[in-house]
Structure 1
Amino acid sequence: MVDAIVSVFLDRLLNALEEESHFLIEIRDQLKKLQRELRLMQSFLQDAERLKRKNESLRAIMVTLRDLIYEAGDILADCQVQSEDENDTVSARCTMCFHPSKLPVHYQAGKRLREINENITGIKQDMSTYLGVSLLNQTGNTDEDRHLKPSWSTPLYDHSKVVGLEGDTEKIKDWLFKANDDILAIGVVGMGGVGKTTIAQKIFNDRRIEDRFERRIWVSVSQTFTEEQIMRTILRSLGDASVGDDKSELLRKINQYLLGKRYLIVMDDVWSKDNKWWLQIYQGLPKGNGSSVIVTTRIEEVARKMGVSEARTHWPKFLSEENSWLLFRMIAFAATQGECIHSELETVGKEIVEKCKGLPLAIKAVGGMMLSKEPYYHEWRRIANHFRDELAENDDTVMASLQLSYDELPAYLKSCFLCFSLYPEDCVIEKEQLVHWWVGEGFVPLRSGRLSAEAGGHCFSELTNRCLVEVVDKAYSGTIYTCKIHDMVRDLVIKMAEDYAFFKPNELNCRHLGIKGDMNRKQIMANQKLRALLTTTKSGEVNKIASNIANKFCRCPRLQVLDLSKSIFEIPLSSLLDEIGSLPNLACLSLSNTHPLIQVPPSLKKVHKLQILDISYCQNLKLIPSYITTFAKLSVLDASHCGSLGYFPKGLGRLLNLQVLLGFKPAKSSQEQGCRIAELKNLTHLRTLGLHLSQGDEIGDDEVDSLVNLQELQFLSINCFDSHDEDLAVKLDKLTPPRQLHELGLKFYPGKISPDWLNPHSLPMLRFLSICSGNLTKMSEGFRGNGNVVWKIEGLKLEALSDLSEEWSVVPQVMPSLRTLNVCWCPELEGFPIEDAGFKGGVWKKEEQQR
């Protein structure tokens, strides 16, 4: 992925050349020459990437170029560190370039950069020969900027929509409803990409199925699994962590939880023909009551060995020509609600669809790719021709479509996409971890003044829109929490990652590495290349890291991303990370949900490049050190769900680049070393803010306007958990948010009546509103708006408001744009409909309530 590495390096180089760094003066000419050379080559690197799969000589050239760019990046980083270490005084400026101790560093850096430039000039000439084009007189303009001007900012395609599977799901549901004795075994068998998992998911989430089965359990069975892992997954679905139990005890617990209940278990993507593991689990399952098991597999023999009869085996058919075109249209033309408004594209679009041979995964991949393309005939024709060439080399339609989708990714997205190679099969991945990684390692291009949080979210949306990434869990507002990738997509991403030396599981000096309890200690011992080291465990699992491994984490000098979340250590983590100050390039540090974390490592104050610090869910953490306020580049500070934390340090208002601040606890008037809410006025780039308030004393009378002028703020949550102060509600009633707020969440609101500012006139741009728990009994009069001013809210969530006694019929009147509604445990809400014929295009969701 040389084009991706070049793209990232040029972004860093551009920023470096804009710095007023005196240390870089000595090598500036060489850096500018390198910049010119790479820009000349950039337009042709994508073609070179594609052709190198056929040409070993070109492949070797690209590997050499990749290593040279990495080395140049290391030189640039070292020079920037040297520059930051200098005392920025007039006398230092005068003497620095002539100081004897600095001459060897300048000389060595300049000398090596000259050699790198000479090598790249030779590579450029070699590429000219192999590509049959001249790179010597090119302007260096690329189409990269076109990719950086998206036509959307949020996902357009609704991944929950499926096409052509209605008959499949109805057939299997009919079998399920007729089940009576023993355990009914149903098999869904077919080749990869035909839609087996999609069919099972559609059935699993069907409302009638929910009503029929008291327990529903989904198990993703990877190719490398153990009987014990399967049992623990089943128990986690039943709400039992089952830490420390042996297999017999696990099986006994499963039986106990399911005894007397009708249950449905989905065993998704089973490969093993050895059925001993299944026979062991099956014997422990209670029988009868119409309980059922659905098995999805590519191998018919597997289904038979798991007790599936031929009569209860379903083979999904390929999509018809009509349904194939419909699915493609829904994705490729999502921006126009699935309508092909450019008639000249229909013919070539149908030609592309025909090559997919009715396979849903292939259609979704190419459809997502075309969604990102300009609606020009010549561009679509180019893609159709490349698809034909790809199929000529690879007769696997799905893999050919996925390879084409990868090849057509803009350079910066290739780096983001290859990050998925570190995660194990069937792993549910947190979006936030990915975005933080991308920002920390510089994969996200920050041009046109975009904030890093926004740019990272956009990259994620681009991958989901291209159907390379599947959404697993999202909020009522559409905000995505977790995702995963199809196993065939994973096959591709692993192949690409190994080819490009992005990640090789057994390589001792690799650049990216996932943390596991049984990881190889040698992989991190003085690793001179390692850029990212992070937790990649499956959902519900926790890493147990031995001290002799953890104390080597700070010995990798190139490390930019260190994520130790969801890990347990034998001794306090702050002592294990005592040398973290020796990681000068560290940009992202996550200690979320680690144990035992008592304090943030003191030596962290030496890490001046830190952009992201995540210490959320650290219940033993009592103090955030004051040196945090010196991190000028910090853009994300997450201290949410830290129950023992007293307050944030004074001086937080100096972090002018802060974009995300979560779990903010303002100091009380008596806590002089703490940060008051008034300091937030200075955070003009703040985009997301999470407040944790417990007493009225945390908001002074002169601080109630602290948020109103934060013009970038879009997402605000206010959590008043464990508050018993009546004065807090009075203060909150005056703490007015900015008018442009996009989403608002109130948790444990202490007042009986909603705040006066919660009205459509004060928040005219609010699109999503969530109110959960608390003492709320009624909404303020202003909440209803008036005849001329109504809410523009599209999504509303009301949860655990046991005293709210409003008349529901008022809400649709004041929220005419409402499309998504989630109401749960609001027993006094009067007149709430289970179904409403007047509510079109959205989702009513009412969960069972108890009075």
Structure 2
Amino acid sequence: MVDAVVSVFLERLLNTLAEEGRILNEFRDQFEKLQNELQLMQCFLKDADKQKRKNQTLRGIMTNLRELIYEAEDILADCKLQSMEGNQSSATWLACIYSSKLQFQYQTGKRLKEINEKITGIKQNILSYLSPSMTNETGRIDANIDQMPRWSSPVYDHTLVVGLEGDTKKIKDWLFKADAVIQEIGIVGMGGLGKTTIAQKVFNDREMEDWFERRMWVSVSQTFSEEQIMRSILRSLGDASVGDDRGELLRKINQYLLGKRYLIVMDDVWSLDLSWWYKIYEGLPKGNGSSIIITTRNEEVAKRMRVTEERLHRPKFLDKDDSWLLFRKIAFAASGGECINSDFEIVGKEIVQKCKGLPLAIKAIGGLLLYKSHYREWRRIADNFRDELAENDDSVMASLQLSYDELPAYLKSCFLSFSLYPEDCVITKQQLVHWWIGEGFVPLRNRPSTEGGEDCFSGLTNRCLVEVVEKTYNGSIYSCKIHDMVRDLVITRAENDGFFKTDKGSRHLGINGYIDGKQLMNNHKLRALLSTTKTGEVNKITSRVTGKLSECRYLRVLDLCKSAFEMPISGLLCQVGSLQHLTYLSLSNTHPLIELPSSLKKLNNLQILDVSYCQSLKSVPSYLMNFKKLRILDASHCGSLEYFPKGLGRLSNLEVLLGFRPARSSQSEGCRIAELKNLTRLRTLGLHFKRDDEIGDDEVNALVNLQELQFLTISCFDSHGDGLVDKLDKLCPPRELHELCLQFYTGKVTPVWLNPISLHMLRYLSISSGNLEKLHPSFWGEANAVWRIEGLMLESLSDLQMKWEMVQQAMPSLRIVNASWCPELVSFPIDDVGFRGGVWAKGERRR
């Protein structure tokens, strides 16, 4: 993925050259020469990356180029750091050169010259292996087209299922007929055929939710243990089961399921050694019409798990019509799933025929073509797909490989990020986006970094390379995973392209339960170290790891969320303070984090700091207010945090601020809400109020001019006194607000400003937990004003009364309603469920 490495480095270099004024001519000349050479190479690097799979010599050349770019990037980072240390007052680039650090000047200049000479030679070598057609102007035009994202959000329904209606009905009929013993059902077929999709469709079916009292989904990876399976079952039942042995785990499972009709899905079972399953099976209560669904590629596995021939389902390939329907729903999603050009239809049907009815292959190639708007691009993809199939008759892997080859450079690194996560791991979008921003994978292009990160994520989901697992109530994606066949491709490409290696010297490492200190020893290459544990699991960080962390001097990304430490966490954080290139630090859900030590004040390059869910954290240090590059600060769900320090308004680049707690009038050293008016780049803001004197009479307009603000959360959890409601009633959110969440609001009536005139751009509204009884008359609009709200969530509002007819009248654009635990909403046509596009469905995760 040399084109990706070059793309990231060039953006970083161009930004540096543009921002810094006083640059030593010798260094500027070398960096500008490097910039020119790489820009000339960009138009054919993508083809060279593809060709290296077939040419061992070219592969070696590209590897050398990649390593040189990484080294140049490290030199650039060192120069900027030396500049900051050499002249903190002006912070001009390479101010260190005018000080006593002549050795740094000499060595850096010498090495840059050597890098430039080698890259010039490499360019000629690469060109000698490529045909002229790969380096012509047409290739450059195609590359420019490919770099422009067409959509910054999902453009089709990710739950789309085509041609499996008969399969799901067959399985459901079997489930309804289960007798007194446990019924085993097997879904067997090759990878990419839709086995898991069928099981998910059945598992999430409304009738199945009503039929079974307990439902459990277990993803069985190729590397698993009996204990992990039992813990996964218990997590599905809402029990974290920390510290229990296997005997106790099995006893708990039996206790939870005793006397209940339950459904267990064992997804993607591989091993023929099923001793683990026999032990679990014996501990399950029998009877009551319970069932177990097993999905596997190996029919023998299903039979050994007691599936009879009568309950064995073998999904068929999609027929011609369903294959075309699925393809056009994705490839032509921009036009509502309808092909409006006969030339495109001819090429599309040619491609679909080569997919041989495999849904995963059809979705992958359809997602790729969604981003191709010219006929010549479709024709080229069809020809390349034919060539891939000539080398590998597996249509799924051929389509996935082609999808990877066609990714824009900036998306390749994002895609390879999934190689760090274990099989079947559910990953939050937030962690991915933060990582990509921190390591510079996201091209900024004069836009907010968070917006760019969201675009990258949508680029992968729209291409069907990433599967959606969980959404928020408004339809935005919360978590995801990748198909095991996609993971096979990711791991192969990550290893071949030097993104992730299990041995020493990897640039990216995941912490899955624990990490070997040897992998950190003298690892100057390491760029990212992240927690990749599955849901409900905890990392164990040893003192050996802590001692080696400071040796990873070029580390950009450090995510230690959900970690337990053998030593005091303060010792670890002192080591982190030496990582001056760090841009993203997550200590989320680490205990007991009481304070951030002064050693972290050296992290002047920090862009993202996440200390959310650190319940023992008492304060935010004042030195954070000097981190001018900080874009994201998340201190949400920190129960012991009193207030933020003064100076927050100086963080002019801040885009996301969560968990902000303003100081009271008596806390002179704390930050007042008035400082927020200076944060003009804020896109997401989370406020937590407890008392009325946290909002002064002259501060009620503090938010009104935050024109970039799109998402606002106001929480009054654990608030005191009645005066806070009066203050909040006077608060003025910006008119351009896109989404509003009110949590634990203590008033009986909604604020007067919550109306379709004051918030005329509002699209999503969530009100949860509190004393709310009714909505202010202004909520329903005046002078024929109506809401533009598309999604509404009402949760845990035991006293709220409102009429469904009035909601329909005031919100004509409403598409999503999610209401739960609101017993007084008697006129709503729902029973503790949600309404979405005409279909009643269970509520989804809150933002």
For the aligned pair, the TM-score class normalised by the smaller chain equals over 0.9
Moved more, 232-241 or 663-672: 232-241
CA deviation after TM superposition for structure 1 residue 214, in Å: 0.1
The residue aligned with 2:750 is: 754
CA deviation after TM superposition for structure 1 residue 537, in Å: 0.3
Kindly provide the amino acid, as one letter, of the partner of residue 5 in structure 1: V
Kindly provide the amino acid, as one letter, of the partner of residue 42 in structure 2: Q
| Number of aligned residue pairs | 842
Pair 138,370 (structure 1): closer, same or farther in 2 beyond 3 Å = closer
1:392 is the counterpart of 2:390:
yes
- Is the CA contact 2:8–2:441 (under 8 Å) kept in the aligned structure 1? yes
Pair 98,562 (structure 1): closer, same or farther in 2 beyond 3 Å = closer
The residue aligned with 2:762 is: 766
What percent of counterpart residues are identical? 69
- Is the CA contact 2:84–2:92 (under 8 Å) kept in the aligned structure 1? no
- Is the CA contact 2:665–2:693 (under 8 Å) kept in the aligned structure 1? yes
CA deviation after TM superposition for structure 1 residue 89, in Å: 5.8
Q: Secondary structure at the match of 2:788?
A: coil
Q: In structure 2, how many angstroms separate the alpha carbons of the residues matched to 1:637 and 1:685?
A: 13
- Is the CA contact 2:546–2:575 (under 8 Å) kept in the aligned structure 1? no
- Is the CA contact 1:164–1:323 (under 8 Å) kept in the aligned structure 2? yes
Kindly provide the amino acid, as one letter, of the partner of residue 277 in structure 1: W
- Is the CA contact 1:221–1:269 (under 8 Å) kept in the aligned structure 2? yes
CA deviation after TM superposition for structure 1 residue 240, in Å: 1.2
Moved more, 77-86 or 297-306: 77-86
Q: Secondary structure at the match of 2:217?
A: strand
The residue aligned with 1:501 is: 498
CA deviation after TM superposition for structure 1 residue 10, in Å: 0.2
- Is the CA contact 1:3–1:45 (under 8 Å) kept in the aligned structure 2? yes
- Is the CA contact 1:569–1:596 (under 8 Å) kept in the aligned structure 2? no
Q: In structure 2, how many angstroms separate the alpha carbons of the residues matched to 1:20 and 1:218?
A: 54
Cα deviation 1:234-283 (Å, max 9, x = unaligned): 11111111111111111111111100000000000000101111110110
Pair 95,286 (structure 1): closer, same or farther in 2 beyond 3 Å = closer
1:317 is the counterpart of 2:302:
no
Cα deviation 1:291-343 (Å, max 9, x = unaligned): 00000000000000000001100000000100000001111111111011222
- Is the CA contact 2:665–2:694 (under 8 Å) kept in the aligned structure 1? yes
CA deviation after TM superposition for structure 1 residue 95, in Å: 8.9
Kindly provide the amino acid, as one letter, of the partner of residue 378 in structure 1: R
The residue aligned with 2:292 is: 293
Cα deviation 1:527-571 (Å, max 9, x = unaligned): 110000010001111112222223322321000000000001123
Q: In structure 2, how many angstroms separate the alpha carbons of the residues matched to 1:96 and 1:320?
A: 68
CA deviation after TM superposition for structure 1 residue 844, in Å: 3.8
Q: In structure 2, how many angstroms separate the alpha carbons of the residues matched to 1:414 and 1:175?
A: 43
1:492 maps to which of 489, 492, 503 = 489
| Correspondences of 1:90-169 after superposition (within 5 Å) | 97-99=97-99, 101-133=100-132, 143=142, 145-169=144-168
CA deviation after TM superposition for structure 1 residue 607, in Å: 1.0
The residue aligned with 1:466 is: 463
1:514 is the counterpart of 2:513:
no
- Is the CA contact 1:183–1:293 (under 8 Å) kept in the aligned structure 2? yes
- Is the CA contact 2:84–2:91 (under 8 Å) kept in the aligned structure 1? no
Kindly provide the amino acid, as one letter, of the partner of residue 437 in structure 1: W
CA deviation after TM superposition for structure 1 residue 517, in Å: 3.6
The residue aligned with 1:743 is: 739
Pair 62,253 (structure 1): closer, same or farther in 2 beyond 3 Å = same
| Correspondences of 1:227-306 after superposition (within 5 Å) | 227-306=226-305
1:419 is the counterpart of 2:417:
yes
Q: Secondary structure at the match of 2:794?
A: strand
Q: In structure 1, how many angstroms separate the alpha carbons of the residues matched to 2:365 and 2:133?
A: 31
The residue aligned with 2:406 is: 408
1:450 maps to which of 442, 447, 455 = 447
Q: In structure 2, how many angstroms separate the alpha carbons of the residues matched to 1:90 and 1:435?
A: 32
2:721 maps to which of 717, 721, 725 = 725
CA deviation after TM superposition for structure 1 residue 802, in Å: 0.5
1:558 maps to which of 548, 554, 558 = 554
Q: In structure 1, how many angstroms separate the alpha carbons of the residues matched to 2:307 and 2:455?
A: 44
1:69 is the counterpart of 2:69:
yes
- Is the CA contact 1:474–1:480 (under 8 Å) kept in the aligned structure 2? yes
Pair 243,115 (structure 1): closer, same or farther in 2 beyond 3 Å = same
1:572 is the counterpart of 2:568:
yes
The residue aligned with 1:813 is: 809
- Is the CA contact 1:820–1:843 (under 8 Å) kept in the aligned structure 2? no
CA deviation after TM superposition for structure 1 residue 843, in Å: 4.0
- Is the CA contact 2:631–2:656 (under 8 Å) kept in the aligned structure 1? yes
Q: Secondary structure at the match of 1:822?
A: strand
Cα deviation 1:437-494 (Å, max 9, x = unaligned): 00000000011x1100110011001100001001111111112111000000000000
Kindly provide the amino acid, as one letter, of the partner of residue 487 in structure 2: R
Moved more, 601-610 or 645-654: 601-610
Q: In structure 1, how many angstroms separate the alpha carbons of the residues matched to 2:21 and 2:554?
A: 21
Kindly provide the amino acid, as one letter, of the partner of residue 627 in structure 1: Y
1:480 is the counterpart of 2:490:
no
Cα deviation 1:779-826 (Å, max 9, x = unaligned): 011111135310111100000110111222110111111111100011
Q: Secondary structure at the match of 1:703?
A: coil
The residue aligned with 2:439 is: 441
- Is the CA contact 1:690–1:717 (under 8 Å) kept in the aligned structure 2? yes
- Is the CA contact 1:551–1:577 (under 8 Å) kept in the aligned structure 2? no
Q: Secondary structure at the match of 1:821?
A: strand
Kindly provide the amino acid, as one letter, of the partner of residue 471 in structure 2: K
The residue aligned with 2:176 is: 177
CA deviation after TM superposition for structure 1 residue 139, in Å: 12
- Is the CA contact 2:526–2:555 (under 8 Å) kept in the aligned structure 1? yes
Pair 148,57 (structure 1): closer, same or farther in 2 beyond 3 Å = closer
Kindly provide the amino acid, as one letter, of the partner of residue 606 in structure 1: K
- Is the CA contact 1:502–1:510 (under 8 Å) kept in the aligned structure 2? yes
Q: In structure 1, how many angstroms separate the alpha carbons of the residues matched to 2:95 and 2:654?
A: 35
Kindly provide the amino acid, as one letter, of the partner of residue 83 in structure 2: S
1:619 is the counterpart of 2:615:
yes
- Is the CA contact 1:696–1:728 (under 8 Å) kept in the aligned structure 2? yes
Q: In structure 2, how many angstroms separate the alpha carbons of the residues matched to 1:466 and 1:209?
A: 31
Kindly provide the amino acid, as one letter, of the partner of residue 478 in structure 1: G
- Is the CA contact 1:430–1:481 (under 8 Å) kept in the aligned structure 2? yes
CA deviation after TM superposition for structure 1 residue 98, in Å: 4.8
TM norm structure 1 = 0.96
CA deviation after TM superposition for structure 1 residue 516, in Å: 3.3
Pair 148,801 (structure 1): closer, same or farther in 2 beyond 3 Å = farther
Listed as ranges, the gaps of 5+ residues in structure 1 are none
Kindly provide the amino acid, as one letter, of the partner of residue 41 in structure 1: M
Kindly provide the amino acid, as one letter, of the partner of residue 816 in structure 1: P
Moved more, 753-762 or 15-24: 15-24
Pair 846,264 (structure 1): closer, same or farther in 2 beyond 3 Å = closer
Pair 484,527 (structure 1): closer, same or farther in 2 beyond 3 Å = same
Pair 584,173 (structure 1): closer, same or farther in 2 beyond 3 Å = same
| Correspondences of 1:656-805 after superposition (within 5 Å) | 656-786=652-782, 788-805=784-801
| Cα-Cα RMSD | 2.0
Q: In structure 2, how many angstroms separate the alpha carbons of the residues matched to 1:362 and 1:206?
A: 25
Q: In structure 2, how many angstroms separate the alpha carbons of the residues matched to 1:412 and 1:92?
A: 29
Pair 241,194 (structure 1): closer, same or farther in 2 beyond 3 Å = same
Pair 216,562 (structure 1): closer, same or farther in 2 beyond 3 Å = same
1:6 is the counterpart of 2:2:
no
- Is the CA contact 1:124–1:135 (under 8 Å) kept in the aligned structure 2? no
1:602 maps to which of 592, 598, 605 = 598
Q: In structure 2, how many angstroms separate the alpha carbons of the residues matched to 1:197 and 1:266?
A: 10
Moved more, 581-590 or 643-652: 581-590
- Is the CA contact 2:685–2:711 (under 8 Å) kept in the aligned structure 1? yes
- Is the CA contact 1:328–1:363 (under 8 Å) kept in the aligned structure 2? yes
CA deviation after TM superposition for structure 1 residue 621, in Å: 0.5
Q: In structure 2, how many angstroms separate the alpha carbons of the residues matched to 1:290 and 1:752?
A: 47
Q: In structure 1, how many angstroms separate the alpha carbons of the residues matched to 2:573 and 2:24?
A: 31
CA deviation after TM superposition for structure 1 residue 141, in Å: 5.5
- Is the CA contact 2:263–2:292 (under 8 Å) kept in the aligned structure 1? yes
Q: Secondary structure at the match of 2:450?
A: helix
